[in-house]
Structure 1
Amino acid sequence: MKHMVAVYGTLKRGHNNSHLLKGARFIGEDSLSGLTLFNLGPYPGALAKPSEGVLVEVYAVNDQILTELDILEDYFPAAPGDSLYLRKRMATKHGPAWVYIYNRPVQHQQRISSGTW
């Protein structure tokens, strides 16, 4: 396991994309006050904006799982401007972890004030 990833939406345990983290090691939970969560319909998106906190699950993942997560999140390292999400390293209580940050406008999306999806 080479990478730490913090997830906040459909990748969390019990949600429809959690199977992509099979083989990853669950590290623990945290609340990241550097994020604000928005309801995008079938999934949430977080922006790097201060809030009361967004509940995340932190996992240790290998290169293959990280690549699969990049594909799910439409993250294109070679063309970040075309990406639906960007990957940003953020501090968690378990150490630095990658977080997928929504890369589109959210002015018409509802903010999720609870920070929990």
Structure 2
Amino acid sequence: MNSYVFVYGSLMRGRSNHDIIKDGYFLGRAVVQGVGLYDVTPYYPGAVRERDKMVRGEVYEVDAATLKTLDWVEVNGNLYRREIFNAYLQERGDKVEVWVYLWLQEIDPKKEVPLEAQPWQERDPGGEEG
């Protein structure tokens, strides 16, 4: 059975881990409400449940094998936990029920990625943090 997954970091098109979902069907760019985004490392962000926040990303339809691979990559239950949210596709305006991987570790409130600075971008680990 296929599932819809919302990605907001290194799994997005053109990013370092996109190959993992490249065979999934791209539904479009989307936003998810009730989630805030934070820089947790230079290599990937973390999303946490926050009532008045939104995250920009992409939605993909993936098969069960790809979802299982994503759970492994995201260390589901340890670094991230997969939860259901509604995503709103920007081009079509459709609402889609999606899996979102939420960050389970501590976040630094000063490292929030505001909506106007999204989608998240990978950083140079040797450069200045933003």
Q: How many angstroms apart in 1 are the aligned matches of 2:67 and 2:31?
A: 21
Cα 1:73–1:108 shift into 2, 3 Å: same
> Corresponding residue for 1:116?
119
Provide closer, same or farther for how the CA distance between residues 51 and 15 of structure 1 changes in structure 2, counting only shifts above 3 A: farther
Bigger Cα Rg: 2
Q: Gapped runs of 5+ residues in structure 2?
A: 89-94, 121-130
Residue number in structure 1 paired with 2:123:
none
**Correspondence for 1:84:** 79
Task: Describe the SS at the equivalent of 1:105.
Answer: coil
In structure 1, the gaps of 5 or more residues are: none
Cα RMSD, aligned residues only: 1.5
Q: Is the 8 A contact 1:34 1:51 kept in 2?
A: yes
Q: How many residues align?
A: 111
Q: Which runs of 4+ in 1 moved over 4 A?
A: none
Partner of 2:22: 22
Counterpart amino acid of residue 18 in structure 1: H
Q: Is the 8 A contact 1:39 1:109 kept in 2?
A: no
| Superposition TM-score, scaled by structure 2 size | 0.79
